[in-house]
Amino acid sequence: MKFICLTVLIISGATYSRSENNNFVRPADPVFALAGEDVILPCSVKFSLNAVDMRVEWSRSDRNDSEVVHLYEDHEDRNTNQSQSYRGRTKLNHEELHRGNISLKLSSVQVSDEGRYKCSIQSEYRSGDTTVNFTVGVVGRPPVITVDGFDYTGLLRLKCESEGWYPEPVLEWMLTETTFLSSETAETHRNENGFSVKHTVTVYEKHRKIHCRIRLKNHKLDTLIITSSNMFQLWRKSAIQFPVIVGLGGFTVVLIAVIIHKYIVHRKLKTENRKIHHELDELLQSQRIPKVITHLETDMVNATLGEDSTNACLIQTRHGREVIYDETEQ
């Protein structure tokens, strides 16, 4: 009976020790920070046990090589094998080790620092570890509000857009801190510079102040547009006048095109007429046509050789008169 009881106690003690060993380090919540900021990656020993004599190692568990981020051993920092990208940017608070706080301070956060970190602790009798998910954010450009359209009923369509955010931000339209408007359209794109967002909303004349806010965790940027009745009236007049202006503009373009076409045709006819006169003058000067014909008309427009005889010439004046001259008759 005593043997059985002793065996149960040994098994229970081993089970308790194994369970305690697996939960030796407290789990940590995800961490978010903006690029350029300093951040604390949390990690602590349960029961606030003294960690001064323990081995503390921070590493990147999301990389195959498990690169060393920071190492504390034998009461001092040993960062000989520390990853080059973390040199001079990590620190353990040695005074907090007495209380079991082995959190790591990371300075001047970079986008490349984003990932999953492993906090490991080891002593002579126990060991444990936990994982910290770290996200790095980038604040983009302030949002810009522009007028995207309007109609005759007094509705005004606004567009708000911004770019350069990481991760994807949240865009909100607001009348007050507690009154929100629903976006009609929403577009999100991502490139090497981060996320860009573009939303539209329709507002009424009664909406005097409209805010566009872009939020990333606890960080936010706002832009405000203030409308007035005069602005809405101006937009209505523009909506009425715009089609008229477009119609007049189109008519003017067509009219100019017709005038240019007529001018080109007139120039072409005038050039051809000059060419005909020039050719006729050459015929007269070559004495192939008697000089007496020159007394008929001086405004002749064409002269063509007859088809039946190479010696015949037909001359037609602008007034319709025709003179036929055949050298064989001479």
In this structure, are 84 and 179 located in the same domain? no
pLDDT of residue 276: 77
The enclosing H or E element of 254 equals helix 229-285
Query: What is the total residue count of the chain?
Result: 330
Q: Which token pair is 7?
A: 């065996």
In a domain? residue 252? no
Residue 54 has pLDDT above 90, yes or no: yes
In this structure, are 195 and 102 located in the same domain? no
Q: What rounded mean pLDDT belongs to the chain?
A: 78
Better-predicted residue by pLDDT, 194 or 294: 194
Worst-scoring range by mean pLDDT, 24-33, 225-234, 300-309?
Answer: 300-309
Residue 16 has pLDDT above 50, yes or no: no
Average confidence (pLDDT) over 89-108: 96
In a domain? residue 210? yes
198-238: pLDDT as tens digits: 999 988 876 778 999 999 998 999 999 887 655 555 555 55
Q: How confident is the model at residue 328 (pLDDT cuts 50, 70, 90)?
A: very low
Residue 327 has pLDDT above 50, yes or no: no
In a domain? residue 305? no
In a domain? residue 190? yes
In this structure, are 30 and 91 located in the same domain? yes
In a domain? residue 10? no
In this structure, are 107 and 39 located in the same domain? yes
Nearest in space to 166 (alpha carbons), one of 144, 183, 186, 141: 141
Worst-scoring range by mean pLDDT, 23-27, 134-138, 207-211, 296-300?
Answer: 296-300
In a domain? residue 133? yes
What angle (nearest 5°) sits at the alpha carbon of residue 20, between those of residues 16 and 25?
175
In a domain? residue 246? no
Q: How confident is the model at residue 72 (pLDDT cuts 50, 70, 90)?
A: very high
In a domain? residue 293? no
Domain boundary among 231, 251, 283: 231
pLDDT of residue 1: 47
145-179: pLDDT as tens digits: 998 877 666 678 899 999 999 999 999 999 988 99
Domain boundary among 195, 210, 231: 231
CATH code for position 41: 2.60.40.10
Average confidence (pLDDT) over 39-52: 93
pLDDT of residue 237: 55
Residue-number span of the structural domain to which 49 is assigned: 24-137
In this structure, are 113 and 181 located in the same domain? no
Nearest in space to 106 (alpha carbons), one of 45, 160, 58, 163: 58
